Amino acid sequence: MLWELFATFFKIGAFTFGGGYAMLSILQREIVDNHNWAAEEELLDYYAIAQCTPGVIAVNTATFIGVKHRGILGGIVATFGVVLPSLIIILIIAAFIKNFLEYEIVTHIFGGINAAVAALIVDAVITISKKSIVDKICIALAAASFILSVFFDVSPVLIVLGGAAMGLILKGRKRGIKK
């Protein structure tokens, strides 16, 4: 199981360009669909918590999932797996950075990568929205979060914490808090 955990997160780390948001669709496929290590809602919870904690979202999410399945050692293995591809790529690029930047083809390659990452982020937003925005309260919270982020540049941490508080207050009052 440790090798499988490492290999899965190595794959996620190797094929996730563009940061934490871009990894949502590959996390969904690998963690939920392929390995059944978490339910979709549980993965969204891990992802939300990872956004609120210091550090890189991919690393935090890998650590949470690794700890859940194999304890502290699993967390270390999953974290190492997700970080190692970036470390290798950065070391290679750092060794040749001046040579890479001189080629116009590199600019075109990164332009294509950026477009693909944007599409992956849109896919992740659609997937999460289908599961998360399920009633009028959720629609209002999502709209308010979008407005705060886009127009007022509010920190994602504050938006997630505010969403958690409003969800607890509004949805908790509506349904009653269950223990």
Whether residues 31 and 103 fall in one domain: yes
- 114-133: b or e for each residue (b if 16 or more CB lie within 10 Å)? eeebeebbeebeeebeeeee
Helix H or strand E encompassing 15: helix 2-15
pLDDT digits (tens, 9 = 90+) for 100-134: 777 889 889 888 988 998 898 898 889 888 888 99
Whether residues 146 and 60 fall in one domain: no
Enclosing domain of residue 103: 2-132
Q: Is the pLDDT of residue 61 over 70?
A: yes
Whether residues 8 and 81 fall in one domain: yes
Q: Is the pLDDT of residue 175 over 80?
A: no
Whether residues 97 and 9 fall in one domain: yes
Whether residues 118 and 140 fall in one domain: no
Whether residues 93 and 175 fall in one domain: no
Write down the residue that tokens 């599961």 correspond to.
131
DSSP state at residue 17 = -
pTM surpassing 0.75?
no
Q: What is the mean pLDDT of residues 26-32?
A: 91
Whether residues 127 and 64 fall in one domain: yes
Distance CA 83, CA 59 (A): 7
How many structural domains is the chain composed of?
2
